[in-house]
A = this chain, B = another copy of it.
Amino acid sequence: MIEIERKFLVNSMAFKAEAHKSYAIKQGFLNSAKERTVRVRLKDEAGFLTVKGQSTANGLSRFEWEKSISTAEAEALLALCEPGIIDKVRYEVICGKHVYEIDEFFGDNEGLVVAEVELNAENESYTKPAWLGEEVTGDLKYYNSILSKTPYKLWSI
């Protein structure tokens, strides 16, 4: 399937009070190339293997294929991943018809907080909550596959 997503920075932690759920995510990449990203994810007690293709020129749409795997499988595959495992906590906030997913990063990406909203069409309208900051859709440095190699703590150097 094709995923359509917009990505934003977050200008306050007020989103936490609006979240209806949150969970820990640990993820690594079996390939972090933008043409064929292969991601292993452990999301609380669930495992996922996800393959993503290259984004369209505007950064909005991307082929995405995902398969559930066991936590034991996810752990075995994480051990094979490229260096740069990502640790984050994801919060979900319902806003109108959409769900914002806000990632608060830890480890080498501590200090970075990014929100994403998935749309059904590239021109679909959506409500912007007050804590939503600058749009960074399509900016490669915010891709998790890039953050695993060039984490936030290295950006200011």
Which residue of B33, B36, B65, B80 is within 8 Å of A51 (Cβ)? B80
Which chain B residues border A31 with CB–CB below 8 Å? 30-31, 33, 36, 38
A51 B67 Cβ-Cβ under 8 A: no
B63 A76 Cβ-Cβ under 8 A: yes
A38, B81: Cα distance in complex, Å: 11
Which chain B residues border A35 with CB–CB below 8 Å? 80
Decide yes or no whether A44 CB sits under 8 A from chain B.
no
Decide yes or no whether A69 CB sits under 8 A from chain B.
yes
A77, B35: Cα distance in complex, Å: 12
Q: Which residue of B lies closest to A76 (CB)?
A: B65
Q: Which residue of B lies closest to A31 (CB)?
A: B31
Decide yes or no whether A18 CB sits under 8 A from chain B.
no
- Contact mask for chain A residues 60-99; partner B; CB cutoff 8 A; 1 contact, 0 none: 0001010101000100110011100000000000000000
B67 A67 Cβ-Cβ under 8 A: yes
B67 A36 Cβ-Cβ under 8 A: no
A69, B50: Cα distance in complex, Å: 13
B30 A82 Cβ-Cβ under 8 A: no
Decide yes or no whether A49 CB sits under 8 A from chain B.
yes
Decide yes or no whether A59 CB sits under 8 A from chain B.
no
A43, B142: Cα distance in complex, Å: 37
Decide yes or no whether A53 CB sits under 8 A from chain B.
yes
B69 A73 Cβ-Cβ under 8 A: no
B36 A82 Cβ-Cβ under 8 A: yes
A80, B69: Cα distance in complex, Å: 21
